[in-house]
Structure 1
Amino acid sequence: MMLKNRQEQKEIIKAYNLLRKPPSVIFYTTHKCASVFVNKLLSCITKNSDYRLKNYSSAIWSLGNQIDVGSPYEDFLEKAYDRLYKTKGEIYAPQRRPLDFPGRENFKHIFFLRDPRDVLVSGYYSFGYSHKTPKAEKQKQKFNETRVKIREQGIDNYACEAAINWLLPLYDKYRELLETSDTHLYLTYDEFKDDTTRFIQKIADFLEVNVPEKEIQEIANEASPVQQNKDIMQHKRSGLSQQYLTELESDTIQKLNETFAEVLSYWNFPI
């Protein structure tokens, strides 16, 4: 009888141990919002807790031509949610596009967002110049075609088009995800830039993780949000806030202010 029940016993023990872990977390953000820093921070969080960090987007990117899950990846992730997302003990990050699936509202949610007008400026230089090309051939071809188009458009035309097709739907969907989540934390890029130590501590407190002060300070010191010398071919170009005021034409800024009026108000960005 003992041999017969051994597998069931293992499954019960595994389920028991899983339930003792903290609630899983989805860390929502956008492109060009301190992703390198986020990975370092969350790696530190997992080192000091029972959490495990899962970066599915990076894993799919690294697979290259081995599989074709389509683009955006979230369509695949949502279909396979029951295989990929556990309710306990994991941090899924960074999640740069809206992701929703049955039971998602029970996860802890962190929203780390930057002023969409600054995201557009950084996105132009990133997708147009500095961002690495995908490993998968099909995605690489599409990426390069888009890169040529972005350069030909120029920053102002790109910003107006991408605002409608990319960022407005993204921030609106993030609002829906926040309002339907049981537990959430919202942080802005400026909070990270202006007081990185406090920013880290807020996340640690929200996740109920005790991170040694020395490690918090080390991560904060390495963050260096703002770059003194701008280089359009570098992944981290400037890190400045309100760069759109000097990078974009006044007419473009006015259009973006109108497009993002509700977004700016809801997420508490300066209008």
Structure 2
Amino acid sequence: MPATGKSILCATMHKAGSSIADLILADICRAKGLEIDRIALQVPSSDMTEGELFVSYQDKMRGEGVYYGVARGAYVKDMPIVYGLRAIIQVRDPRDCLTSAYFSFRESHRPPTDPQKLEAFLKRRELLQNQTIDEYATLQARSYNHRMAVLQEIVRKHDDVLVLRYEDMVTRTDKWLAAISDFIGQPITPDLRAILGKKIDFTVETEDASRHKRQVSPGDHRRKLKPETIASISDTLAAQLEFFDYEV
């Protein structure tokens, strides 16, 4: 079936459910008839950073008929082509992202194969062995504020954008799917739901720090961080929390 409609790129941030959201979006876009060219899949074998690869890939991107996957970094600010595509933005409470990132980078994140990237990965993992979660969250809060500010700018300026929330994905999945279905114009038929299968099952029975899907319940920062840490990072992130309707 020939692909129809404008191309789509999803912009998000690390630890906002981007990996599984990408797979789900690809299934829905494929059912709609779009080609699938998930740029991020080229990152592990590339000698470029993720940002360099995405920015340079703009020359190859078509305005019609392709789903280009998820872009997880602030580098999307250097991708003016985003405004010529349809944009899907997925956000998550950045305080939960910081909590999740600590455990992921410290315990479960898969090492890259590229030697230079692996060296940087191992250095970060070694550093985190001697860093508390509160120290990590405090140090990284400004980075997440910057990432969300970039997403906010796209939402403000783009005339064809859908904003999704991780919290809806894991706790109100049918609502989240309905928003995607309406935006893409692809019904979630019984056949498509069967294809989605376990990808839309977000059940996690017990928390396990060694697993990529450690836990999914919103508000984990309140269970893991000290009150004074939450107050500090909430102040740093206040503008973005307010814009994306998270409680400050």
Fold-level similarity (TM above 0.5): yes
Q: Give the Å deviation of 1:123.
A: 0.2
Structure 2 counterpart of 1:149, from 127, 130, 133 = 127
Structure 2 counterpart of 1:91, from 67, 89, 94 = 67
**Residue of structure 2 equivalent to 1:68:** 47
State whether residues 91 and 164 of structure 2, in contact with CA within 8 Å, keep that contact through their aligned partners in structure 1.
yes
**Residue of structure 2 equivalent to 1:51:** 34
Which whole-Å CA distance do the structure 1 matches of 2:99 and 2:108 have between them? 13
Which whole-Å CA distance do the structure 2 matches of 1:157 and 1:243 have between them? 16
Q: Give the Å deviation of 1:209.
A: 1.7
Which whole-Å CA distance do the structure 2 matches of 1:34 and 1:216 have between them? 19
Q: Which amino acid aligns with 1:93?
A: G
Q: Give the Å deviation of 1:157.
A: 0.4
Structure 2 counterpart of 1:181, from 158, 170, 179 = 158
Between Structure 1 and Structure 2, how many residues are aligned?
A: 246
**Residue of structure 2 equivalent to 1:138:** 116
Give secondary structure in 1 for the equivalent of 2:174: helix
Show CA shifts across 1:8-36 (max 9, x none).
Answer: xxxxxxxxx99x72101111122222234
Could you tell me the percent identity over the aligned residues? 22
State whether residues 201 and 216 of structure 1, in contact with CA within 8 Å, keep that contact through their aligned partners in structure 2.
no
**Residue of structure 2 equivalent to 1:3:** none
Q: Give the Å deviation of 1:53.
A: 2.1
Q: Unaligned stretches of 5+ in structure 1?
A: 1-16
Q: Give the Å deviation of 1:218.
A: 6.4
Give the root-mean-square deviation of aligned CA atoms.
Answer: 2.1
Which whole-Å CA distance do the structure 2 matches of 1:103 and 1:56 have between them? 14
Structure 1 counterpart of 2:208, from 211, 219, 231 = 231
Alignment of 1:1-271 (within 5 A): 21-61=4-44, 63=45, 67-69=46-48, 71=49, 73-83=50-60, 85-98=61-74, 99=76, 100-164=78-142, 166-216=143-193, 219=196, 222-271=199-248
Which whole-Å CA distance do the structure 1 matches of 2:169 and 2:197 have between them? 9
Give secondary structure in 2 for the equivalent of 1:94: strand
Q: Give the Å deviation of 1:246.
A: 1.2
Q: Which amino acid aligns with 2:47?
A: D
Which whole-Å CA distance do the structure 1 matches of 2:62 and 2:199 have between them? 31
Which whole-Å CA distance do the structure 2 matches of 1:120 and 1:34 have between them? 13
Which whole-Å CA distance do the structure 1 matches of 2:82 and 2:18 have between them? 22
Normalising by the residue count of structure 2, what TM-score does the alignment of the two structures yield?
0.91
Bigger radius of gyration, 1 or 2? 1
Which whole-Å CA distance do the structure 2 matches of 1:40 and 1:68 have between them? 24
Give secondary structure in 1 for the equivalent of 2:80: coil
Which whole-Å CA distance do the structure 1 matches of 2:91 and 2:166 have between them? 6
Q: Unaligned stretches of 5+ in structure 2?
A: none
Q: Give the Å deviation of 1:38.
A: 1.5
Change (3 A) 1:221 1:75: closer
